[in-house]
Amino acid sequence: MFHWLEKRPFLFAVGVFVTIAFAGLIEILPDFAKASRPVIGTKPYSVLELAGRHVYIKNSCNACHSQLIRPFKAETDRYGHYSLSGEYAYDRPFLWGSKRTGPDLMRVGNYRTTDWHEHHMKNPASVVPGSIMPGYPWMFTNAADIDTAYAEMLTVKNVFNVPYNKPIPTKDGGTVTVKLPDTLDGAKAEALKEAKAVAADMKSKEVKDMVARGEIPEIVALIAYLNSLK
Amino acid sequence: MENRPLEYDYTVAKMFMFMAIVLGIVGMTIGVVLALELAFPGVNTILGSGVAEFTNFSRLRPLHTDAVAYGFTLSGIWATWYYVGQRVLKVSLKESSFLMAVAKLHFWLYVLVVAAVVVSLFAGITTSKEYAEFEWPIDIAVVVVWVLWGVSIFGLIGIRREKALYISVWYYIATFLGVAMLYLFNNMEVPTYFVSGGIGAWYHSVSMYAGTNDALVQWWFGHNAVAFVFTVPIIAMIYYFLPKESGQAVYSYKLSLLAFWGLMFVYLWAGGHHLLYSTVPDWMQTMGSIFSVILILPSWGSAINMLLTMKGEWQQVANSPLIKFMVLASTFYMFSTLEGPIQAIKSVNAIAHFTDWIVGHVHDGVLGWVAFMVIAALYHMAPRVFKREIYSKSLMNAQFWIQTLGVVLYFSSMWIAGITQGMMWRAHDEFGNLAYSFIDTVTVLHPYYTIRAVGGLLYLVGMFMWAYNMYKTATAGRAVEEAELKNASPMGA
Amino acid sequence: MNKLYLWGGIFSVALVGATYAAIGMTKGGLNGDIVNILAVLGAIAIALITIWVVVKYVRQMQTDTATGELAEENWDGIGEYKNDLPIGWAVMFMALNIWGFWYFIVGYPVNAFSQIGQYNDEVAEKNAKFQAVYADIKGERLVEMGESVFIANCTVCHGINADGMDGKAANLNQRIEKKTVKYVINHGSNNHLLGMEMPMPDRNGLFNANTGALITDAEIDTVASYVANGFQGAGADIFAGTCAGCHGADGRGIAGVAPNLREFTPELIANVLAHSKKGAIGKMPAIDVLNKKQTEAVAAYIISLSK
Ligand code: HEM
Ligand code: HEM
Ligand SMILES: [Ca+2]
Ligand SMILES: [Ca+2]
Ligand SMILES: [Cu+2]
């Protein structure tokens, strides 16, 4: 019968590859050509925020939480303005998620606060009866990894030209500059400064003590990140 | 030489069979734990709050998906490759000490990667991309494992006696090429340790792509990882094991051919259906939806070809639990490849996306189709590689019914949970306010989460029955002669 | 009837029935929402089509026999028939390919679909629908509407009973807690409660006219109890001497000067929602997803709680 191609394994494999690669080209190539540009008000993450993002990823919060508000009235009523492509310009990796066991967090910084997160992350069911989210009490004592966050900032600045130390336009017409310290020690000092501001709104004594000692617990970094989601 | 039956060498096939069983049980045990955690959050701290960092839902979930996809399923794929490959190419691994060495290296390096993955995911070292969680050092090891498999495929083909490649081999080749391409592109990442001059964790990396672009590459990968791990190689299995076990000729070569090339062409376009109503351009989303609907036909082509192969053979279906597994697997394959396209329609996805209806779709595919096929394939192989009859037919029968009930409970509960939740999220009340707070939409799911956990538990019980039956077959089954192994597998009561 | 059709039928009916029951349990059911309706039709189609097609092939297993010309090849004993494509499958495949091509090349650009356009339409339609209802919502209905807003947006912090869940947020069943009053006197307040920058001084700016001195710890404690208890008990004199100048003799506030401390007012609540509030308990975020009517309604609900 007609087994012409199937008797030529090399040609067969090439045929398969071309067939599957074709669609890939169409879907992937435009990607390299056109990266989305940040919208006004979108700024890179600070040291502490980035360390918090790493805590979020380390614990796979994205397994239950999306960060993508779809353009439906019910969604914008619940979470705020629908997502815009440019808002993700500095998200490496993207964290849209694919399952909403818990609510979307794209703009959670707008409608939740440090002290609320503090209660909630320790024991979600104590603030939201019936919550099935696990508590994360160890984050109150585990130290956040500032070194790796700083290494990532250096990397994205050098490789992808992320605009650290440059004025970035804000929604109110002004500008803001996100600092990339010159040295690791500088980065640690910067992170500690940010951490103190967050810890001031918290109640946990162990957290306050740690920050006073110059250490940054994961929870503080995580909350800084959550507060930055707007 | 030509007249004497070939002595095939199943050493490596056996090693992968063992891994498939072990990792299947591990992965699904974690699945049951996850299901219980969602139904009863207290389970998050079941081993004490001291180790909850490692036993809570979010840390365990990637372990489940990777253990079942890249542990259980891949092991099953490779167990069957090292079995089917030799037989349909009519060449024994014994004939090439080089290929034998490659195959063994393939296995042992794979075991090493599995160990590395377990350690890294428990430690929370992940890039967060679904089904591509591994950091770059593991990526590199994965590429080596994959290349070794490639050498094995093309090496065996190079020394084959059967000139034309059998359908199963088409699908194995496609699996190899597809995953290679997808994996490389999606894992483009920059190690931060080297760029920053030695600061921070050495294994950490940052994605080459940002935001919307990253999402596009990820779901071009993610959708097709499903295609080339949960579909294409499983079709390779059914095209060999169903005709072989039943002794029936494949219904239509033309259908095999069209379904294969159709699937290859159409699958890759459909990734956009994971990004509907997101910030990727409208035309890409629409393309994803259109190709998803077209995809029904090449998918159903293979399933129909298999069902028609059993034409007139109801006796066999009724009598053999091994054939039952495969016939029901084709049915679930048809079910999930109709459900997927319908969920890919934009308006339907507006409800389904982000809900448990998707999780239901996933599991009628993976439990009803993937795992059933792996189970059936390994049952068929057991008498041939151990030269013993399958230990117990009645145990296999019981396993079949228990697992079928498990799948049905799983997908029907998630189906209802997903539709309910999707509609509750959208609902406005008579005043135009959101009708439900988020937590209302969580607490309603409790009964369905409980039913799912029961379904999962039943399925897991079936897995243990499988392991026991396989173990007994290898050690205590009645020894059989070559002549008994032509088609239907010999089974003890 | 064939047993198989029976089981197929029972199974589809069970699945579709369960779906139907699940919908019935949610408020308003399908709600006339086209997306809901399409999703449910899709679900029903999945169940029915799969069962119908599979039953068809299983019938062939039961009654038909395998026929056809065998191909020359044979792999490990597996043969292959030269049968033609099943006609239904082939036709469907062709038809879908043509449809897909047409849709992408012609159907789609011609309709010029945009998901943001679709969103704008949806919002306009719903707003028009509810705006029309809003005019009639007053009194008790307004409170009811406010409760519905409160449940969806505020319970995560204030609790289902609005009691603040053990001090995690303000207890809204009373105007103000003693803890808050003390805190405000000690630290001042700068929360735009009047809708503008108008801070209240801390204790170093609070003179008690009766004593002619700064307010003392003992006085703070007394007046705080007095205010928190709804202006009852001891402390009226301290209030009159220290606070009444701004908050009014009766504590009901003075427009543009200081807020009402006796009862919640719609303005106060609207200002808290617009500007956020930080105090003794913690920080309340601004809530910007509510429209004017919803704000008015939730205020009416909160006011009703402390009555
Ligand atoms: C015609 C074939 C198929 C189509 C068009 C399809 C379509 C879809 C769609 C639309 C989603 C949901 C995306 C979302 O809204 O999040 C999805 C998810 C998924 N499907 Fe399928 N599906 C098909 C077949 C299968 C099969 C056979 C399997 C497995 C055996 C499978 C496994 C999955 C998995 C694992 C996901 C979850 C991805 C995630 O993590 O979000 N699909 N599919
Ligand atoms: C005993 C059987 C199993 C149980 C109880 C189970 C349970 C679960 C649970 C609870 C989840 C998380 C769902 C969520 O986040 O809401 C999940 C996800 C998943 N499981 Fe399983 N599972 C089982 C078997 C399997 C098998 C055998 C496979 C593959 C061969 C598999 C593949 C997946 C995938 C791909 C996901 C991710 C789905 C998504 O992200 O949409 N599971 N499973
Ligand atoms: Ca997912
Ligand atoms: Ca990777
Ligand atoms: Cu997909």
Subunits with at least 3 CB pairs below 8 A relative to chain B?
A, C
Residue A72 with chain C: CB contacts under 8 Å: 119, 122
Phi/psi for C101 (5° steps) reads -65, -45
- Closest-CA distance, A172 to chain B, in angstroms, reads 24
Q: List the single residue in B90, B297, B437 with the smallest CB-CB distance to C152.
A: B437
For A33, counting Cβ atoms within 10 Å of its Cβ (0-12 exposed, 13-18 middle, 19+ buried), the class is exposed
3-class secondary-structure state, position B3: coil
Q: Using the mean position of ligand 1's atoms as its centre, give its distance from the Cα of residue B223 in Å.
A: 7
- Of the given ranges (A2-11, A164-173, B404-413), which has the lowest mean pLDDT? A2-11
Q: Where are the domains of chain B?
A: 11-475
Position in ligand 1 atom list of the atom nearest CA B230: 30
Contact A77/C289, CB-based, under 8 Å?
Answer: yes
Is C81 within 8 Å of B250 when comparing Cβ atoms?
A: yes
Q: Which residues pair with A175 in a beta bridge?
A: A169
**pTM recorded for the entire structure:** 0.95
* Closest Cα in chain C, distance from residue B5 (Å): 11
Judging contacts by C-beta atoms under 8 Å, the chain A residues touching residue B278 are 68, 70, 83, 96
Which tokens belong to B11?
A: 């050493």
B34 Cα nearest atom in ligand 2: 10
DSSP state of B252: B
Judgement on whether residues A13 and A111 belong to the same structural domain of the protein = no
User: Touching check for C27 and chain A: CB below 8 Å?
Assistant: no
Q: Where are the alpha helices (DSSP H) in chain A?
A: 9-33, 47-58, 73-79, 108-111, 114-122, 124-127, 146-160, 184-200, 205-212, 218-228
Q: List the single residue in C with minimal CA-CA distance to A72.
A: C119
Chain-centroid distance of CA C150 in Å reads 9
Residues of the domain holding A16: 2-32
Cα angle, residue A164 at apex, residues A159 and A169 outer, rounded to 5°: 125
Q: What are the residues whose beta carbons fall under 8 Å from the beta carbon of B436, sequence distance 6 or more?
A: B424, B425, B427, C27, C152
Please give the C-alpha separations between residue C139 and each of B382, B428, B432, B435, C134, in angstroms, as whole numbers.
76, 21, 17, 21, 12
- Residues in C touching A1 (Cβ below 8 Å): 71-73, 80, 82
SS3 C66: coil
145-174 of B, contacting C, C-beta below 8 A: 162, 164, 166
3-state secondary structure A64-123: CCCCCCCCCHHHHHHHCCCCCHHHHCCCCCCCCCCECCCCCCCCHHHHCCHHHHHHHHHC
Of ligand 2's atoms, which has the minimum distance to the CA of residue B73? Answer: 30
What is the nearest CA distance from C207 to chain A, expressed in angstroms?
Answer: 30
Q: What is the mean pLDDT of chain C?
A: 92
Distance from CA of A75 to the nearest CA of C (A): 10
3-class DSSP string for B347-366:
HHHHHHCECHHHHHHHHHHH
Residue nearest to atom 24 of ligand 2 (CA): B28
Q: Are residues A62 and A167 in the same domain?
A: yes
User: Over the stretch C24-71, which tens digit does the pLDDT of each residue have?
Assistant: 878 878 888 899 999 999 999 998 999 889 999 999 999 999 889 998
Instruction: Give the distance (Å) from ligand 1 centre to CA of residue A93.
Output: 22
Gap from A221 CA to chain B (nearest CA, Å):
16
Q: And the tokens for C232?
A: 């009852």
B153 close to ligand 2 (CB < 6 Angstrom): no
Other C-beta atoms closer than 10 Å to the C-beta of B119 total 11
| Contact list, C115 vs chain B (CB under 8 Å) | 277, 282, 285
The yes or no reply on domain B11-475 and CATH 1.20.210.10 is yes
| Separation of CA B310 and ligand 2 centre (Å) | 31
Give the largest CA-CA distance in chain C: 114
Q: Output helix, strand, coil percentages for chain B, rounded to the nearest 5.
A: 75, 5, 20
| Residue B17 alpha carbon to ligand 4 centre in Å | 27
Q: Which helix (H) or strand (E) holds C283?
A: strand C283-284
pLDDT of residue C31: 82
Based on the fold, state whether residues A7 and A80 are members of the same structural domain.
no
What pLDDT digit, counting tens, does each position of C187-217 carry?
A: 999 999 999 999 999 999 999 999 999 999 9
How many domains would you assign to chain A? Answer: 2
ipTM above 0.85, yes or no: yes
For residue A29, count CB atoms less than 10 angstroms from its CB and return exposed for 0-12, middle for 13-18, buried for 19 or more: exposed
- Partner C contacted by B317 (CB < 8 A): yes
Residue of chain C whose alpha carbon sits nearest to that of B5: C76
Query: Looking at the structure, do residues A71 and A153 belong to the same domain, yes or no?
Result: yes
Phi, psi of B191 (to 5 degrees): -65, 125
Neighbouring chains of A at 3+ CB pairs within 8 Å?
B, C
Cβ of B232 less than 6 Å from ligand 2: no
Chain B residue with the nearest C-alpha to that of C36: B423
Q: How far apart are CA A164 and CA A144, in angstroms?
A: 22
Q: Cβ–Cβ of A27/B195 closer than 8 Å?
A: no
Regarding whether A166 and A77 lie in a shared domain, the answer is: yes
Confidence tier at C1 by pLDDT (50, 70, 90): very low
| Chain C stretch 135-174, residues whose beta carbon is closer than 8 A to a beta carbon of chain B | 137, 144-145, 148-149, 151-153, 155-156
A77 shares a domain with A20 = no
Whole-Å CA distances, B144 to B218, C54, C96? 22, 42, 40
C131 Rama sector, left if φ>0, alpha if ψ -120 to 50, beta otherwise: alpha
To which H or E segment does residue C208 belong? strand C207-208
* A127·C157 Cβ contact <8 A: yes
Q: Which residues of A touch B130 (CB under 8 A)?
A: 98
- Please report, in tens digits, the pLDDT of each residue of chain B (493 residues total): 445 668 899 999 999 999 999 999 999 999 999 999 999 999 999 998 889 999 999 999 999 999 999 999 999 999 999 999 999 999 999 999 999 999 999 999 999 999 999 999 999 999 999 999 999 999 999 999 999 999 999 999 999 999 999 999 999 999 999 999 999 999 999 999 999 999 999 999 999 999 999 999 999 999 999 899 999 999 999 999 999 999 999 999 999 999 999 999 999 999 999 999 999 988 889 999 999 999 999 999 999 999 999 999 999 999 999 999 999 999 999 999 999 999 999 999 999 999 999 999 999 999 999 999 999 999 999 999 999 999 999 999 999 999 999 999 999 999 999 999 999 999 999 999 999 999 999 999 999 999 999 999 999 999 999 999 999 999 999 999 988 999 999 999 8
Cα of B258 from ligand 5 centre, angstroms: 21
Tell me if C282 and A115 make a contact (CB, 8 A cut-off).
Answer: yes
Q: What would the pLDDT profile of A105-140 be if each residue is shown by its tens digit? A: 999 999 999 999 999 999 999 999 999 999 999 999
Label residue B7 exposed, middle or buried (CB < 10 Å: 0-12, 13-18, 19+): exposed
Q: Does C41 touch chain A (CB under 8 A)?
A: no
CB-based contact A150 B200, cutoff 8 Å = yes
Residue of C nearest to B415 (CA): C19
What is the distance between the alpha carbons of residues C269 and B66, in angstroms, rounded to a whole number?
A: 50
> Which pLDDT does position B149 carry in this prediction?
98
Q: Is C123 on the interface with B (CB under 8 A)?
A: no
CB B168 within 8 A of CB B239: yes
* Pair A105, A22 in one domain: no
Q: What percent of chain C has pLDDT over 90?
A: 77
Integer Cα distance of B370 and B374 in angstroms:
6
Counting ligands in written order, the one closest to the CA of B134 is 4
Say if the Cβ atoms of A135 and B217 lie within 8 Å. no
C93 and B CB contact within 8 Å: yes
Does the beta-carbon distance from A114 to C287 stay under 8 Å? no
Burial class (CB in 10 A: 0-12, 13-18, 19+), B481: exposed
Distance (Å) from CA A104 to ligand 3 centroid: 14
| A171 touching chain C per CB within 8 A | no
CA A156/CA A35 separation, integer angstroms? 15
**DSSP run (H or E) holding B189:** strand B189-191
B396 Cα: distance to centroid of ligand 1 (angstroms): 29
B411 CA → ligand 4 middle, Å: 31
- List, in order, residues 6 or more apart from C206 with CB less than 8 Å away: C185, C214, C215, C242, C243
The finding on whether B32 has its CB within 6 A of some atom of ligand 2 is yes
Residues A26 and A106 in one domain: no
Which residues lie with the beta carbon below 6 Å from any ligand 1 atom?
Answer: A 98; B 130, 222, 226, 230-231, 270, 273-274, 292, 295-296, 299, 336-337, 340-341, 343-344, 349, 352-353, 358, 361-362, 365-366, 369-370
Q: What integer pLDDT is reported at residue A2 of this predicted model?
A: 67
Chain B contact present for C92, CB below 8 A? yes
Nearest to B297 among C14, C65, C89 (CB): C89
Report A:28-57 residues touching B (Cβ under 8 A): 28, 31, 35-36, 57
Q: What is the CATH number of the domain that holds A126?
A: 1.10.760.10
